[in-house]
Amino acid sequence: MQVSFGNRRIATTQSLKFLGLTINTSLTWKYHIGELTSRLNKACYAIRSIKPFMSLDVLRSTYFLYVLSIISYGFIFWGNLSHSEEKFKVQERIIKIIMHSSKNASCHQLLKELNILPIQSQYIFSILLFVTKSKDQFMSNSRVHKINTRQTSGLYIHIANLSIYQKGGCYSAIKIYNPLPTAIKDLSGDKNKFKLALKRYLLTILFIAWRNILIRSI
């Protein structure tokens, strides 16, 4: 497709940065994730450089201010894609630098000690906060089915066969929200209590365990 303005033809481009997100023509987020990897590698180098002069508390604060801010921005859009797995490797490297651990150390244990969520759990955390903030954008099962079942309090999920839609923010949000323990869902009206309870819960389970819950719910 060719687009013109006046007598001037506007050139097409494979990717475009819009509000801090790099969007490409096929909407795969490949370019955006590649750019984030480069920024995270720079953050890793910066933390390695300052580590000899900083306390553990300062390094942990640096992680939240510098690394997590990079990871979290727009996370609900691209965090469920296969390309995002590369981010966990960078996070692993940064955490091991902060904790001065060997390459063979268990990163999950180090993350628990620092009270930091793994990348995959951070995605779950981010998308569940999105659900609670935008509850009016979702439909509950009780509005669709009048029969009282254990799924009544859950969110209604539309049938979709396209994998690109299933990996999208709204579809993933419902699939992740529905298996959440009722005790945590009941706190969604209080933002601070919900965040604390959710983070505590995610820190106690490995991402692989949560993934199995999601698979069984499909």
In the block, tokens 């254990």 appear at 150
Listed in sequence order, the residues at least 6 apart from 98 whose beta carbon sits closer than 8 Å to its beta carbon are: 47, 51, 56, 59, 60, 63, 114
Q: What is the mean pLDDT of residues 205-213?
A: 56
Report pLDDT for 118: 83
Around Cβ 126, how many Cβ atoms within 10 Å?
Answer: 19
Bridge partner residues of 9 (DSSP): 4
Q: Span 41-56, mean pLDDT?
A: 90
From residue 13, alpha-carbon distances to 8, 25, 32, 44, 77 in Å are 16, 8, 14, 31, 21
- Tokens standing for residue 33: 């994730």
150-192 pLDDT, tens digit per residue, is 555 566 666 666 665 556 667 777 778 777 888 888 887 888 8
pLDDT at 141: 57
Q: What does the pLDDT read at residue 161?
A: 62
Give residue 215's pLDDT: 44
Per-residue pLDDT reduced to its tens digit, 12-30: 777 777 787 777 777 777 7
The reply to whether the predicted model has a pTM over 0.75 is: no
Residue 65 pLDDT greater than 70, yes or no: yes
CA 91 to CA 188: how far, in whole Å?
29
CA dihedral sign, ordered 30, 86, 46, 121: positive
Can you give the residue ranges of every domain in the chain? 3-116, 125-217
pLDDT of 129 over the 70 cut:
yes
Q: How far is C-alpha 125 from the chain's CA centre?
A: 7
Q: Average pLDDT for residues 139-149, to the nearest whole number?
A: 58
CA distance 181 to 145: 21
78-91 tens-digit pLDDT: 777 665 566 677 88
Task: Kindly indicate the confidence band of residue 209, based on its pLDDT and cuts at 50, 70 and 90.
Answer: low
pLDDT at 116 over 70: yes
Res 111 pLDDT > 70 = yes
How much is the pLDDT for 217?
A: 43
pLDDT at 73: 82
Least confident range from 23-27, 73-77, 120-124, 127-131: namely: 23-27
Share the mean pLDDT of the chain. 76
Tell me, what's the pLDDT at 126? Answer: 85
